[in-house]
Structure 1
Amino acid sequence: MNRDVRITQVRITPVAFRDGPLLNAAGIHEPWALRAILEVETSDGRVGINETYGDASMLSLLEDCKPHILGLSPFALNRMEDRLRASIRREQAPAYTLAPGSDPSRNTAKAISAYEVAMLDLQGQIVGAPVVDLLGGPVRSSVAYSAYLFFKYAEHHGQPYEPDAWGEGISPQQIVAQARRMISQYGFQSIKLKGGVFEPKHEIACMRALHEAFPGMPLRLDPNANWSLATSIAAAPELDAILEYYEDPCPGLDGMAELAKHTRLPLATNMVVTSMEEFKRNVQTQSVKVVLSDHHYWGGLRATQQLAHMCRLWDLGLSMHSNSHLGISLMAMTHVAAAVPNLSYACDTHYPWQDEDIVVGGRIPFVEGSVRVPSAPGLGVQIDRDALAKLHDQYLACGIRQRDDRAQMRKYDPSFTGACPRF
């Protein structure tokens, strides 16, 4: 191994890919999802890759970090972290938000994660080992993911492209049909519904329909903190008998702590435990029993392992949160999930909702709802140059630079405020 290898170049390519009209507490997905593709090149010609958020502020952050990455050894992860922590302007304390990945207070963690994964990919290529081996080795050969259902419209406002094949998903019958299609295609063995969109009684009816259609299958409902504490408490008796866990129904750690007194279900979150400071407070309040990690804003794959150790210490369940993403992020998730012994629940993924990708070989396969951990060096995926160019052209043409589900929803309903909680 050549210990003189250094990082000589960093390329950041923004991309956009088609995203369905998926409804959530904040509004509705815009027709194009944004991601940034990182390529970190070394003096011996290797290229490590990664994928992260692609909004304008993140692109600017990644560009600002480039001078602090150049010249480093791909193995100098601690030094990289020190440099970025020193260079990134400190923001306010972590804020409560529907989308932690868009919170500027997590800029340092997001930047560290972005470059860490690319450097781990390089390390794996240099030593001839998959990233999972760099994280201690696999404890499972494949990683289970969950069917992630959404309320959705049949097509986007203005018809920017042909409607997707999923069709409308509003009624309980349509949600069940959506689940059947997704399970048929991917083999998922658990189901999650993104709620916080319609009146709780309608979303509970959808969960009951799923319970009847898929008896014994683990079910989850995520209202994205769009239910008040009172509503969440009132819904608990109906949901206790049919859910695997109750994810972020109401806002705040204090609200979740009070709700925990009124439900038999473990409470899960990717909203109120998104940093170690919040983790400490959660342990004190005994609010949440399942933490949904996300290496993109937790600070990387090694930080995710640290979170897993803390969850094991405090007897908390662990799973993984997802955003609209491509195959590079899916593979990074798979490597770290395979290295975590106490992964308690199948991970979330938006991947079935995306029909485009930039990895060589096309879409990553699922077998019985799981993704096999690659044995190839590094992340085990490479960039398809033609696909990258196409998705970059889509970025240039789409006009979106910052995701805004609320503004998009106002195209359908001008009176929409996005106030939270609404129910």
Structure 2
Amino acid sequence: MTYTTGPRIKEMYITPIAIVDPPLLNAAGLHAPYALRTVVELVTEDGISGISEIPGNKDIDIALEASRALLIGKDVFQLNQIRHVLEGHFGTETAAQRGEAPWDQRKLVHIFSAVEVACMDIIGKITERPVVDLLGGKMRDHVPFSAYLFYKFEGAGGELGFNVDPNATGWAAARQASALNPAEIVAQAKAMCKEFGFQSIKLKGGAFEPRQEVDAIIALREAFGPDVPLRLDPNALWTVETAIKYGKEMEPILEYLEDPVRGQANMALVRKALKTPLATNMCTTSFDDIPNSIAVGSEDIILSDHHFWGGLRSSMTLAGICETFGRGLSMHSNSHLGISLAAMVHLGAALPSMKYVLDTHYPWQSDEIIVGGRLKFEEGSVAVPQGSGLGVELDREALAKLHQNYLACGLTKRDDEIEMQKVVPGWKFQSVRW
């Protein structure tokens, strides 16, 4: 098919969904029984469809609806123009608009990443090339991920709430089991690594006082030995003094320590005191943050996320900046399904180097919206999807079902503090706790 002016967007479909999420604990509180996602589908005048998936939020969904009139008629190849139009309407965003919660709340980066991924899915289909080739080409056929452990209450989420299926086995049983102490964290890790073949482990901290979480890291080292890299993420809840104290204790154990403290200045103080590399997805989260990051030396590794850095191409730009300034680059994750995972895999396959394997919440999710069901992990890695574009297609029946979940569950945004208060009355999020 030959285009003289480029394939233009004719339709834009925005579908909020709710996916089952277990009662996972974190610095901001407790995951709700459902996690929200939004699926965006763009369709060209020739009927070619491109899809994407972003974290769900009513305000972002409203902004996506507002962007529809700006996008209809636009050439899907002209992504620079599309971004310029969206910036003109929504304005630019500052790092402060990210907020103090462990998740990002900025609108423009969400909207453009959704539009860009869907456009690149279409471009790939038109050119009959995978998205990884649109990012410069494949550096690896399989993209490795890390086991992502959480402290959690017993339960599977969704309509079951905290109820447990007594007939579940293997990872399905571990996914709904409690993990509130080092022994239970180790049990969770063993089940997850056995099921998915992960060869490195990350623990989401910030749920309990530091001594307990450090003891869990020590228990993981004893259980898995020195050849399995370990990571800990307290989500910036520690003071500088706490981070240095426990960071020194964990120096022989950790591959990296993620966001032990809040802000670039505090991260720089900890980084100077420790031999362990520091990683972040909280203190350096936009290109505007990078000059000061370099000036003060706030981290060694940036955990990118195409949903929050403005898309796949921006993430490749970030990779170049990290290489220039001697930063490592890995990838942050959120509760996601297969469209996001496919995009992450294409990006991961295109990165020039990958010293630190990527994060993913995917084992914690049980729903799916892509044809053929959930993507497979082999030895902790996901193969780059075959075919043009993202290489995954929308399961419309599953999408309709999960949209009904959204309508029925009543959630419109993520609020882990409110969920935690249902279990611990009066509980409040604190930006620094220990």
TM-score, normalized by length of structure 2? 0.94
- Aligned with 1:295: secondary structure? coil
- Percent pairwise identity: 48
Tell me: CA distance 1:101–1:321, structure 2 relative to 1, closer, same or farther (3 Å). same
The one-letter amino acid of 2:115's match is: Y
- Aligned with 1:120: secondary structure? helix
Tell me: CA distance 1:93–1:169, structure 2 relative to 1, closer, same or farther (3 Å). closer
Cα RMSD between the aligned structures?
A: 1.5
- Following superposition, the deviation at residue 74 of structure 1 comes to 1.5
- Following superposition, the deviation at residue 92 of structure 1 comes to 5.1
1:344 pairs with 2:346: no
Decide whether the 8 Å contact of 1:101 with 1:297 is kept in 2. no
Decide whether the 8 Å contact of 2:95 with 2:288 is kept in 1. no
- Counterpart in 2 of 1:32? 34
List per-residue Cα deviations over 1:214-239 (Å, max 9, x = no partner): 11200000000011111111111211
- Following superposition, the deviation at residue 338 of structure 1 comes to 0.6
Q: Which of 78, 94, 97 is equivalent to 2:96? A: 94
Query: What is the CA–CA distance in structure 2 between the aligned matches of 1:368 and 1:90, rounded to whole Å?
Result: 41
1:78 pairs with 2:80: yes
- Counterpart in 1 of 2:321? 310
Query: What is the CA–CA distance in structure 1 between the aligned matches of 2:312 and 2:24, rounded to whole Å?
Result: 28
Query: What is the CA–CA distance in structure 2 between the aligned matches of 1:84 and 1:285, rounded to whole Å?
Result: 32
- Counterpart in 2 of 1:246? 257
1:247-262 equivalences in 2 (<5 Å): 247-262=258-273
The one-letter amino acid of 1:191's match is: I
- Counterpart in 2 of 1:128? 128
Decide whether the 8 Å contact of 2:95 with 2:289 is kept in 1. no
Decide whether the 8 Å contact of 1:157 with 1:412 is kept in 2. no
Decide whether the 8 Å contact of 2:98 with 2:104 is kept in 1. no
Tell me: CA distance 1:101–1:43, structure 2 relative to 1, closer, same or farther (3 Å). farther
- Following superposition, the deviation at residue 100 of structure 1 comes to 6.3
List per-residue Cα deviations over 1:232-290 (Å, max 9, x = no partner): 11111211010000100111111011111211001100000101111111100011000
Decide whether the 8 Å contact of 2:12 with 2:42 is kept in 1. yes
Q: Which of 206, 212, 222 is equivalent to 1:212? A: 222
Query: What is the CA–CA distance in structure 2 between the aligned matches of 1:159 and 1:43, rounded to whole Å?
Result: 43
1:201 pairs with 2:211: yes
- Following superposition, the deviation at residue 420 of structure 1 comes to 1.9
- Following superposition, the deviation at residue 386 of structure 1 comes to 1.1
- Aligned with 1:374: secondary structure? coil
- Aligned with 1:400: secondary structure? coil
1:337-376 equivalences in 2 (<5 Å): 337-376=348-387
1:292-331 equivalences in 2 (<5 Å): 292-331=303-342
Q: Which of 373, 392, 404 is equivalent to 1:393? A: 404
Decide whether the 8 Å contact of 1:100 with 1:274 is kept in 2. no
Decide whether the 8 Å contact of 1:129 with 1:375 is kept in 2. no
- Counterpart in 2 of 1:152? 152
Q: Which of 45, 51, 58 is equivalent to 2:60? A: 58
- Following superposition, the deviation at residue 68 of structure 1 comes to 1.3
Query: What is the CA–CA distance in structure 2 between the aligned matches of 1:186 and 1:372, rounded to whole Å?
Result: 13
1:277 pairs with 2:320: no
List per-residue Cα deviations over 1:34-67 (Å, max 9, x = no partner): 0000110011111100001211011011111111
**What is the total number of aligned residue pairs between the two structures?**
421
The one-letter amino acid of 1:198's match is: F
Decide whether the 8 Å contact of 2:19 with 2:158 is kept in 1. no
- Counterpart in 2 of 1:190? 200
- Counterpart in 2 of 1:138? 138
- Counterpart in 1 of 2:169? none
The one-letter amino acid of 1:41's match is: V
Decide whether the 8 Å contact of 2:131 with 2:390 is kept in 1. yes
- Counterpart in 1 of 2:392? 381
The one-letter amino acid of 1:214's match is: F
- Aligned with 1:244: secondary structure? strand
Query: What is the CA–CA distance in structure 1 between the aligned matches of 2:241 and 2:266, rounded to whole Å?
Result: 10
- Aligned with 1:378: secondary structure? coil
Tell me: CA distance 1:54–1:157, structure 2 relative to 1, closer, same or farther (3 Å). closer
Decide whether the 8 Å contact of 1:312 with 1:342 is kept in 2. no
After TM superposition, the structure 1 stretch with the greater mean CA deviation from structure 2, 353-362 or 152-161, is 152-161
Query: What is the CA–CA distance in structure 1 between the aligned matches of 2:217 and 2:51, rounded to whole Å?
Result: 39
Query: What is the CA–CA distance in structure 2 between the aligned matches of 1:132 and 1:82, rounded to whole Å?
Result: 24
Decide whether the 8 Å contact of 1:97 with 1:271 is kept in 2. no
Decide whether the 8 Å contact of 1:21 with 1:152 is kept in 2. yes
List per-residue Cα deviations over 1:292-346 (Å, max 9, x = no partner): 0000010000000000000000010010000000000000011011111122211
- Following superposition, the deviation at residue 353 of structure 1 comes to 0.1
Q: Which of 9, 16, 19 is equivalent to 1:17? A: 19
The one-letter amino acid of 2:377's match is: F
- Counterpart in 1 of 2:167? none
Query: What is the CA–CA distance in structure 2 between the aligned matches of 1:101 and 1:267, rounded to whole Å?
Result: 19
Decide whether the 8 Å contact of 1:227 with 1:249 is kept in 2. yes
The one-letter amino acid of 1:210's match is: L
The one-letter amino acid of 2:430's match is: A
- Following superposition, the deviation at residue 93 of structure 1 comes to 4.8
Decide whether the 8 Å contact of 1:406 with 1:418 is kept in 2. yes
- Following superposition, the deviation at residue 91 of structure 1 comes to 4.8
Query: What is the CA–CA distance in structure 2 between the aligned matches of 1:87 and 1:96, rounded to whole Å?
Result: 19
The one-letter amino acid of 1:170's match is: L
- Aligned with 1:15: secondary structure? strand
Q: Which of 179, 182, 203 is equivalent to 1:169? A: 179
The one-letter amino acid of 2:39's match is: I
The one-letter amino acid of 2:68's match is: K
TM-score, normalized by length of structure 1? 0.97
Tell me: CA distance 1:344–1:213, structure 2 relative to 1, closer, same or farther (3 Å). same
- Aligned with 1:227: secondary structure? coil
Q: Which of 393, 410, 420 is equivalent to 1:409? A: 420
- Aligned with 1:114: secondary structure? helix
- Aligned with 1:411: secondary structure? helix
